[in-house]
Structure 1
Amino acid sequence: MSLERIDIPLLKKISETAGAPGFEKKVRHLLIETLKDIVDEFYVDNMGNLITIKKSQTENAKKFMLAAHMDEIGFMVKHIDDNGYIRFQTLGGFDPKTLTSLRVKVHGTKDLLGVMGCKPIHSMSAAERTKVVTNEEYFIDCGLSKEEIEKHVKIGDSITRWQELDMVGDLINGKSLDDRVCVYALVEIMKALKEQDTPVDVYGVFTVQEEVGLRGAQVAGHGVSPDFGIALDVTVANDIPGLAPQDYVTSMGKGAGIKHFDGGTICDRRMVEHLENVAKNKEIPAQPEVLPFGGTDTANIQRMPKNGSIAGALSIPMRYLHQTTEMAHPTDVVAMIDLVVQAILQVEEGDWSY
């Protein structure tokens, strides 16, 4: 039933569109085309964040900022050797063991398909076989000579992973669902609010460069300067073999994670309790989330406004985070959309006192 509420073709397009940190242009254009007739206003700031706005009919309404980051972990071309092999700089955090034989696209004047290569096991010494290959040992093989590659590619061009989005059993499966599944959710939230008279001005912000230090949210948080804020991101779902329940963080299919803590933020208790109350009263699936490492745009939504904001976060549980293929449950995606919409519509019922 949850899957029936998800626009898979749109989610597929959002997931598969390339957008490494600093190279979010294609994703931004896709979102502008999708939302330009839905929202009341939109603009792009100097950092590249896309800010879409749903205006309240209430005079001097407070601002409620939602943020999902457009960028995906990727790479940048830093060298092309005499045999046409490309060396790269990582953009975001990679687990090196996930790079072996990974298909990528090198985005020059035209996209070139390539494969991540390294020394094969047949050529490794006994000692090398016991070690994890480092990022620096990988190269990209596009099957072309240096001369052919340089017709289209130069130093500084971006590189992204290539994989199509599909369903694996009951689960959504694809690349860069961190954070494209939440980008999709934010699009659906702005659509759902279109005909509503919201008690606040809603700022749906699609941020840049989250994967390299929450940079876009720093600028957007300061520029929008919201009273309330919720970051929409994914989180670890460690409900897999070999891990104890206390280390799961979240579990797939049990609803959106209401964040209490991550490596960059202690979420405002007022926002946490508001989200918990709305989830309970509206019977929306939700689960608590305490993430012992990593950070999200929540930190800058909370800190960058002049007087700070009452900020929290909602997370979609995800298996295989920052690996080749990421997985999400449709129930959790729908729960995020429903919980955010209701949290905004009922914001006046929250207890925002100190």
Structure 2
Amino acid sequence: MKLNIPLLSEICKTPGAPGFEARVRALVLKEVTPLVDEISVDNLGNVHAIKRGKAGNGKRVMVAAHMDEIGFIVTHIDDNGFVKFTTLGGFDPKTLTAQRVIIHGKKDLVGVMGSKPIHVMSPDERNKKPVMEDYFIDMGMSKEEVLKYIQVGDPITRERELIEIGDCVNAKSIDNRVAVFILIETLKQLKGHSVPYDIHAVFTVQEEVGIRGANVAAHSVNPDFGIALDTTIAYDLPGAQAHERITQLGKGAAIKIMDSMTICDYRMVAFMKQTADQAKITWQPEILPAGGTDTAGVQRMGKQGAIAGAISIPTRHLHQVIEMAHKQDILDCIALLKACLEKIDQYDWSH
């Protein structure tokens, strides 16, 4: 199998800051509707797609992939037309200098992240760590022109195309559009094939601001089993110690053991490892000391909780202007998710 690069590129490029996922949701609906038995959108904006299983015993598997991307929101337009903003999700401020962004107002307009030029900084300012408040967006327009198209409350996303670099893909919003892509591609592979239990494929909203969509969706689905799909840190860079790496690019799908919000069910971890080994899928363990994913909502917000875990995609440069994932790792994640959904009834969950 080869990666569908045009689809992955389109998914990454399509804007969808937390709370403003309409465009990426429309893309998901277009791709997923022909692949499932039922599809709907809840009040919060989650896409809820169901592929019915053959067992007929009412057991439900929820698979969650969040659609939103880290972004910004307009808070002020000054007398000279410069735009101030606050974040929607977490950013590393030092990566923003002179980067292009898109403000989604009455029409999409490109701007540039600006800050005080180094030539006029004091020695103390030069040595200071950048903070978000140092930045503004330069639209190249007067205030009067800006106000024709932009207002307080408009969302902002990064302006970057997907490119292929060596064995990797590089783009904005790999977190978490690569998981959206993986879930779509898995549903494509399952089209026409029977699965043991009902699969509730949920493309969630507002993960980057507190796992809000997954909480609502899990409460509605009330899953017996849960699998979240999300990126994780690959700190396999110069200077990294072996124990700091968390995951590495090119070493396969990551099976989450825990993060700061979730201790994955030991049975799900064992099931994923066994399934990967039996199918000869390359995998690596993941323990993430900081950060959380939709796994937390899927595990805890159903009425009785869920036997839950996560398949994570190793990613470099997370929460920066661009992010990078390995093509084979993405393929391994698709293969592992498909195998888990097909074999989930064959595991002894009683111990």
TM-score by length of 2: 0.99
CA distance in 1, matches of 2:166, 2:332: 19
1:283-322 equivalence runs, <5 A: 283-322=280-319
Is this contact kept in 1: 2:73–2:86, CA < 8 A?
yes
Structure 1 residue 166: Cα displacement: 0.6
Aligned to 2:66: 69
CA distance in 1, matches of 2:221, 2:128: 47
Runs of 4+ residues over 3 Å off in structure 1: none
Aligned to 1:199: 196
Q: Which amino acid aligns with 1:84?
A: G
Give the counterpart of 1:245 among 239, 242, 245: 242
Is this contact kept in 2: 1:21–1:211, CA < 8 A?
yes
Structure 1 residue 98: Cα displacement: 0.7
1:41-56 equivalence runs, <5 A: 41-56=38-53
Q: Deviations over 1:12-44 (max 9, x none)?
A: 000000000000000000010111111111000
Structure 1 residue 57: Cα displacement: 2.7
SS state at 1:151 partner: helix
CA distance in 1, matches of 2:57, 2:141: 60
Structure 1 residue 194: Cα displacement: 1.4
Q: Deviations over 1:88-127 (max 9, x none)?
A: 0100001110110111000001001000000010010011
Give the counterpart of 1:30 among 19, 27, 35: 27
Structure 1 residue 58: Cα displacement: 2.5
Aligned to 1:135: 132
Q: Deviations over 1:200-254 (max 9, x none)?
A: 0011110000000111000001011110010000000011101101100001011
SS state at 2:149 partner: coil
Give the counterpart of 1:146 among 134, 139, 143: 143
CA distance in 2, matches of 1:253, 1:282: 18
Aligned to 1:100: 97
Gaps of 5+ in 1: none
Q: Which amino acid aligns with 1:243?
A: A
Aligned to 2:78: 81
Aligned to 2:339: 342
CA distance in 1, matches of 2:327, 2:248: 13
Q: Deviations over 1:260-287 (max 9, x none)?
A: 0101000000000000000001100100
CA distance in 1, matches of 2:333, 2:157: 27
Structure 1 residue 56: Cα displacement: 1.3
Is this contact kept in 1: 2:56–2:197, CA < 8 A?
no
Aligned residues: 351
Structure 1 residue 324: Cα displacement: 1.1
Aligned to 2:218: 221
Is this contact kept in 2: 1:279–1:285, CA < 8 A?
yes
Aligned to 2:322: 325
Q: Which amino acid aligns with 1:213?
A: G
CA distance in 1, matches of 2:347, 2:176: 28
Aligned to 2:261: 264
Q: Deviations over 1:34-79 (max 9, x none)?
A: 1111111100011100011111132233100100100000000000
SS state at 2:20 partner: coil
Q: Which amino acid aligns with 1:129?
A: R
CA distance in 2, matches of 1:192, 1:335: 14
Aligned to 2:155: 158
CA distance in 1, matches of 2:277, 2:130: 47
The alignment status of 1:179 with 2:176, answered yes or no, reads yes
CA distance in 1, matches of 2:260, 2:198: 29
Q: Which amino acid aligns with 1:121?
A: I
Is this contact kept in 2: 1:61–1:199, CA < 8 A?
no
CA distance in 2, matches of 1:120, 1:6: 42
Distance of aligned partners of 1:325 and 1:253 in 2 relative to their CA distance in 1, 3 Å threshold: same
Structure 1 residue 305: Cα displacement: 0.4
CA distance in 1, matches of 2:306, 2:33: 27
1:272-283 equivalence runs, <5 A: 272-283=269-280
Q: Deviations over 1:125-157 (max 9, x none)?
A: 011100112101100001011111111111100
CA distance in 1, matches of 2:139, 2:57: 56
SS state at 1:266 partner: coil
CA distance in 1, matches of 2:140, 2:245: 41
CA distance in 2, matches of 1:58, 1:271: 20
Give aligned-pair identity as a percent.
55
Q: Which amino acid aligns with 2:320?
A: Q
Q: Which amino acid aligns with 2:185?
A: E
CA distance in 1, matches of 2:264, 2:273: 13
Give the counterpart of 1:212 among 176, 199, 209: 209
Q: Which amino acid aligns with 1:67?
A: A
